Amino acid sequence: MTRFSAPIAEQIWDMKYRLKGPDGAAIDGTIEDTWRRIARALAAVETDPALWEERFYQALEDFKYLPAGRITAGAGTGRAVTLFNCFVMGTIPDSMAGIFDMLKEAALTMQQGGGIGYDFSTIRPRGAEVKGVAADASGPLSFMDVWDAMCRTIMSAGSRRGAMMATMRCDHPDIESFIEAKQDAARLRMFNLSVLVTDPFMEAVKADGPWDLTFGGRVYKTLNARDLWNKIMRATYDYAEPGVIFIDRINKMNNLRYCETIAATNPCGEQPLPPYGACLLGSVNLARLVTNPFEADAELNPQALDELVRLAVRMMDNVVDASRFPLEAQAQEAQAKRRIGLGVTGLADALLMLGLRYGSEEAATQTEAWMKAIARASYLASVDLAKEKGAFPLFDAEKYLASGNMMQMDEDVRDAIRTHGIRNALLTSIAPTGTISLYAGNVSSGIEPVFAYAYKRKVLQKDGSRTEEEVVDYAVKLWRDKFGDKDLPDYFVNAQTLPPLDHVRMQAAAQKWIDSSISKTINCPEDISFDDFKEVYMAAWDQGCKGCTTYRPNDVTGSVLSVSETSEKAPEAETGAEVVYLAEPLDRPQALEGNTYKVKWPDSEHALYITINDIVIAGHRRPFEVFINSKNMEHFAWTVALTRMISAVFRRGGDVSFVVEELKAVFDPRGGAWMQGKYIPSILAAIGGVIERHLVSIGFIEGEGMGLKEDPSAKVAVMGAPRGPACPSCGAFEMRMVEGCMTCGSCGHSKCS
């Protein structure tokens, strides 16, 4: 018997969370071993480890409490990785030396697996005078390009690539360039972008008044506030970025406003953090707590919820002491405030089990009630911890109770804090849970609606055969188990058919009792008018949200998988659709076609010879292996290593064009070279250029700096809708925006989780 409800869940566990040795052999034999490893590691800081290990194990068992991926993958492994998910780095100084000191800190943080956020508003605008060197400043966007290149070269912990958030204030002189930056398809691909929108700006927008762009006390430009707002909206409407963060509201509602100012968030926006702020994440699986689902007496067990939340808070508090930190400043910040971010997943499924339509007023009311219950249990659990272990070091009862969310907290909770203190300054946050939700049985993600009731997932096996598995939403599976082929009720809705303002209603309902913020994507139909689209953001502002992220599928952002609201059938793919995810690498055929290219690097005695061989699958040619040879023995070790690594990636299938991007982004600190009229930053970048030209020549990618070539015969027809973008990890055409980050519905790949 297995605890996993679907093969995909076990595959994700094996790929992302299962502890393995250096040789790839499994150390965690079962999921129970993983739960035991985590429980033991987090109980190690307790005075009675054996007692708390057992209680923590019970919380983890059957996916009731889901620590974030970094905890699940890293706790108890002995590896030098951080268990914290989110970091906001230090304030960037407006000096060349200070900027590159910050770049170094970012690299060290990402190397250990942390996603980071930065406010670039502190860097002087482009064209501003740089005193003492008779030059003009290049502006914050030029330095963002440097950060982007750094991120491309660093792999985060496990199989995750680092993610970054860049913010800029709405009154910075370069804000218009910031808004348009990612309209260049090749620029800032490692960043999510968000504009820090202030209360005075929103008042100016509503009043149709003027707005000054300033830096260092100087007004650089005055424009119409509504025109700037429309520019933000138009960019988001067409390109899905930048997001909007209502920064003054965040600071006003911060429990720690008496000792910190926030100007940035982590990559998905659910954690607004001060300089060097860090936060860890975890989620209570609401779908597992509902009794008698789909019956008249269905309910989410309040006692079970209270007990689970209290255990989760204790576990997360222990992570603060058990985790490593990339920088000492981050460790000090975490210890001083002991911030945690407990959230939920499976909300939409839990609502369905109670017969509530996601987005309805009744569902919003129930959501608010659940969030309040979680907040109360969290704060009271933290008070109990303060009695036992002490309050967080910067706790000041009078100031704390007069700040942020504490102003609306129930009086009995306020009295308990006043008397005993509190262990954790902030406790609640709703994070992206795309991967851990699949791992937990494909429960609905975070507070998002169900994305699809079911879908087919095809896997190409080593022998060329194809297996097909159905991935079914958790609540839909329960319905099928209980009622067989009976049609789903009308209250089953999904993300694509839900009106955008219903999304906003749910986000606002949850936000009221979340002391940090919420990662949430408001899916908008492709044909939504620009005026209606703008209304979504204004509704988010009017209803008290701390930010807003939308996704409107179009030719630029890509289409997304969709299913009809009344159908529970899994979407089907046309037979011409290419299956590019490989469960195992393909065997090498006896003969392959290929080409050999010569690269002569300046100042090198011997040339490199690069051979690229291709394989034909379903009539389409794609790269299969690479060989790199040179008479220069200085290159021998790294060329062999590169050959093996690239060939291994090619043989796994999928959109492997990212290999080109990674190689071309590598720069040599000793300097690059000019080749055929272009500056090439390193010999590795030159190899990347050769591979790119080959992929263009065989029709695998569209052109230099471009993605996969469109192949009409390989399109997927899903309920009449075009396919989504290809996943860079598994190749499935199921990338979709989930909680502010493009996420694969097939393998769970996301750069943000």
Residues 177/148, Cβ–Cβ less than 8 Å: no
Q: What pLDDT does 566 receive?
A: 38
In whole angstroms, give the CA distance from residue 76 to residue 619.
47
The vertex-535 CA angle with 529 and 539, nearest 5°, equals 155
> Residue 736 pLDDT more than 80?
no
In whole angstroms, give the CA distance from residue 326 to residue 333.
12
By mean pLDDT, which of 9-13, 47-51, 537-541 is the weakest?
9-13
In whole angstroms, give the CA distance from residue 314 to residue 639.
49
The tens digit of pLDDT for each residue in 195-249 reads 999 999 999 999 999 999 999 999 999 999 999 999 999 999 999 999 999 999 9
> Residue 288 pLDDT more than 90?
yes
- Give the pTM: 0.78
Q: What is the DSSP letter of 701?
A: B
The tens digit of pLDDT for each residue in 612-631 reads 998 877 567 888 889 888 87
Q: Interhelix angle for 302-322 vs 49-60, to 10°?
A: 120
Return the active site residues.
266, 268, 270
For the chain, what percentages of helix, strand and coil (3-state, to nearest 5) are there?
A: 40, 20, 40
In whole angstroms, give the CA distance from residue 287 to residue 302.
13
By mean pLDDT, which of 236-245, 383-392, 449-458 is the weakest?
449-458
Q: What pLDDT does 618 receive?
A: 59
